[in-house]
Amino acid sequence: MLGDEDQEQRKLGMSAGFAWGEVADATVVYEDLGISKGMRDGILNAEFARCPVEYRRLGGEWSK
């Protein structure tokens, strides 16, 4: 929906994700393809909001 390569759209998307994270029951991180800088920022934001962070793997072709 938003272009990751467009910095304004990226900021908008991350802000929306952080706002949602403040009321979510958990932040779930799928780590099969690695953890990006944006994902790290989301993890830190969740930890700051005292929201549990769950690490998961899809497995199969997605695993490194």
Each residue's pLDDT, cut to its tens digit, for the chain (64 residues) gives 777 788 899 889 888 888 888 888 999 999 999 998 889 999 999 999 899 999 999 988 877 6
7-46 as b/e, with b when 16 or more CB fall inside 10 Å?
eeeeeebeeebbeebeeeeebebeeeeeeeeeeeebbebb
pLDDT at 29: 95
pLDDT at 32 (0 to 100): 92
- pTM as predicted: 0.77
